């Protein structure tokens, strides 16, 4: 039976404080484990507004009611309001996810800074950002993180290599069709990539007649194709106004007999040493503005 891994990106202070408790209740109700990946430093969500000139960004904002999902206050962080330190102010909900038996890992230090700049940054900048996140994770959980999932599906070559150096054993940094081992600079790296394979709710809602009322049915059809999948959800969406959609998905997946679990649960079903080798680059994904990390033919 196919496996569906649940990867939960927690991007903001609001998502950490309000979204995580909601998701924990839903997951407990359906007796399902997931992987929570945390933003651990400042919440600078408001700075994302500078993407207004990026092709497709305004269309996404109009389709997905960004203000209602994130809240006015969150959309001012880093601009008119100082960016609050998520790891300092909301460590307890993170620990609650771990105490509930879920896998926890690193999403990023500063979500907007990483998402908007990492693709063009050098190894020194990249190392500092990843080190800040790893150190803060250690402060909160008393141990080193093992799972990494890049903010905004944005990476550079140095980041892939640093995952290995910093002790990560598993990553889900980009989009793709199936797990692989990344090849960077002609070297096969040891941290396997389990990319997100399914579209996210904000990529689907508002396109081709898909609404919050029918998006679960649509996504269920996509996920029941006989293949393994990784589904990325967001604490701000599925842990907020779209919680009923996530509950419908959990019920549908369970009824269909899919095996549901964390990224490490999924990795345990794979022969990691036998995964195909693929290069890493940037590409586009329907419904998502900008370029994202994707596998490419190795060079």
Segment 88-105 shows an average pLDDT of 98
The tens digit of pLDDT for each residue in 139-194 reads 999 999 999 999 999 999 999 999 999 999 999 999 999 999 999 999 999 999 99
Closest CA relative to residue 229, chosen from 218, 238, 242, 220 = 220
Q: Are 250 and 223 contacting, i.e. CB atoms less than 8 angstroms apart?
A: no
At residue 247, the pLDDT reads 98
Residue 65's φ and ψ, nearest 5 degrees, are 50, 60
Is the pLDDT score of 13 beyond 50?
yes
Q: What angle do CA 196, 279, 124 make, to 5 degrees?
A: 90
Nearest to 170 by CA among 282, 275, 92: 275
Count, in order, helices (H) and strands (E) of the chain. 13, 11
What is the spatial distance between Cα 32 and Cα 142, in angstroms, rounded to a whole number? 25
Whose structure tokens read 């290995």? 164
Q: Are strands 181-184 and 187-188 parallel, antiparallel or unpaired?
A: antiparallel
Show the tokens assigned to 5.
Answer: 């891994």
Burial 49-75 (b: 16+ CB within 10 A, else e): eebeeeeebeebbebbebeebbbeebb
DSSP type of residue 272: G
Tell me the per-residue pLDDT of 202-226, one tens digit each, with 9 for 90 and over: 999 999 999 999 999 999 999 999 9
pLDDT at 77 over 70: no
Percentage of residues of the chain with pLDDT beyond 90: 83
Residue 75, pLDDT score? 73
What pLDDT does residue 65 have? 61
pLDDT digits (tens, 9 = 90+) for 33-72: 999 999 999 998 887 665 544 554 445 445 456 656 566 6
Contacts (Cβ under 8 Å, ≥6 apart) of 127: 158, 162
Domain 3-296 part of CATH 3.20.20.370: yes
Show the tokens assigned to 203.
């990529």
Structure tokens at 282: 């940037």
């Amino acid at each position: 039976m196919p496996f569906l891994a649940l990867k939960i990106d927690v991007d903001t202070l609001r998502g950490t404080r309000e979204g995580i408790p909601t998701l924990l209740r839903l997951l407990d109700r359906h007796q399902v484990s997931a992987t929570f990946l945390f933003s651990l430093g400042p919440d600078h969500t408001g700075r994302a507004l500078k993407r207004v000139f990026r092709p497709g960004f305004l269309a996404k904002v109009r389709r997905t009611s960004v203000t209602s999902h994130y809240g006015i206050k969150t959309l001012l962080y880093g601009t008119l309001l100082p960016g609050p330190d998520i790891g300092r102010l909301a460590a307890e909900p993170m620990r609650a996810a771990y105490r509930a038996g879920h896998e926890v890992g690193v999403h990023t230090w500063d979500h907007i800074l990483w998402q908007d700049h990492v693709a063009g940054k050098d190894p020194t900048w990249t190392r500092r950002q990843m080190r800040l996140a790893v150190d803060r994770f250690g402060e909160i959980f008393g141990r080193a993180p093992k799972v990494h999932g890049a903010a905004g599906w944005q990476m550079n070559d140095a980041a892939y290599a640093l995952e290995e150096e910093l002790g990560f054993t598993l990553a889900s940094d980009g989009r793709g069709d199936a797990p692989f081992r990344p090849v960077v600079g002609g070297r096969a790296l040891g941290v396997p990539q389990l990319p997100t394979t399914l579209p996210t709710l904000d990529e689907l809602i508002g396109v081709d007649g898909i609404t919050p009322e029918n998006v679960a049915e649509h996504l269920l059809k996509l996920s029941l194709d006989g293949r393994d999948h990784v589904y990325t959800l967001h604490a701000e969406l599925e842990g907020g106004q779209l919680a009923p959609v996530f509950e419908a998905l959990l019920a549908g997946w369970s009824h269909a007999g899919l095996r549901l679990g964390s990224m490490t649960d999924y990795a345990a079903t794979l022969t990691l040493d036998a995964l195909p080798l693929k290069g890493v680059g940037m590409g586009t994904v329907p419904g998502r503005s900008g370029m994202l990390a994707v596998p490419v033919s190795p060079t």
